[in-house]
Amino acid sequence: MFLDKLKEFPRTRYLLIITIGAFILFILINQLIFAPLSKLVSTYNVLDLEFAWTTDRTAVIFSSWGIEGIEAQTLGVYWDFLYIFGYGFFISGCILLVYRKLSGKIQKIGLYITILPLVAGIFDLIENINLLIMLQNPANFSSIVPFIASITALTKFSLLILGIGFFFIGLIFLLIRTIKNRLT
C-alpha cells in the first residue's frame, strides 16, 4: 500500500530538508506577505471572508475593505496558493517524522494522518478559487460561492486541526516510549 511506503520514503534526511524548507516558506509568506496585507484592512480580515457564508455578509466585508482592500486581499489569495505547499508539507513532514519512530497501530494511524494536511490543501485550493470569484467581481457572484468558500475553509481547518492534534498525540506516545525504555 502507498502509505506503508511512507515508513521509508522519502529518506529521513530528505524528509527533514522538505519539512524545514516548507517551514521556511510558511514563515516567509506569513511575515513578508500576509502580515503587511492584514494591516491594509482595519476591520475584517481574510478569515472573515473565508467564513462569510452568505452574499450579505460578504457585501459588508467588501464595503468595509473598499477597492484597495479588495485588491490587497486578492493578492493575498494568490500568495495563498504557494502557502498551501508551505503549511501542507511542513505539517505532514512533522507528523511523518514522529510516527516513523512509533510502531504498531499508532504508526499505521499516523501514516493515514500524514496525508490530512495535503488533503486540507485541496480544500484550500477550492476555497481560494471561490474567494477569487468573489474578489474579482465583488458586486456580482452566485450566492453559492461564499457558502462553498466557507464550507471548504471549515473542512480545511478541521483537517489541519486533526493532523496537528495527532502530531502532538504521537509526540506524547514517543515521549512515553522513550521514558519507558530509559527506565528499563
Query: Can you give the pLDDT of all 184 residues of the chain as single tens digits?
Result: 677 787 888 899 999 999 999 999 999 999 999 999 988 887 899 999 999 999 999 999 999 999 999 999 999 999 999 999 999 999 999 999 999 999 889 988 998 999 999 999 999 999 999 999 999 999 999 999 999 999 999 999 999 999 999 999 999 999 999 999 898 8
CB 163 within 8 A of CB 170: no
113 vs 92: CA distance, rounded Å = 8
Question: What phi-psi label fits residue 41: left (phi over 0), alpha (psi between -120 and 50 degrees) or beta?
Answer: beta
C-alpha cell at 90: 511542513
pTM for the structure as a whole: 0.93
List of residues 6+ apart from 8 with CB closer than 8 A: none
C-alpha cell at 168: 502532538
Q: Which alpha helices (DSSP H) does the chain contain, by range?
A: 2-5, 12-29, 35-38, 46-50, 55-99, 104-114, 116-136, 144-183
Cα angle 108, 119, 98 (rounded to 5 degrees) comes to 40
CB 7 within 8 A of CB 99: no
Domain ranges of the chain: 2-183
C-alpha cell at 38: 492584514
Identify the three-state secondary structure at position 9: coil
184 CA to centre of own chain: 40
Cα angle 95, 101, 106 (rounded to 5 degrees) comes to 70
Identify the three-state secondary structure at position 6: coil
CB 101 within 8 A of CB 147: no
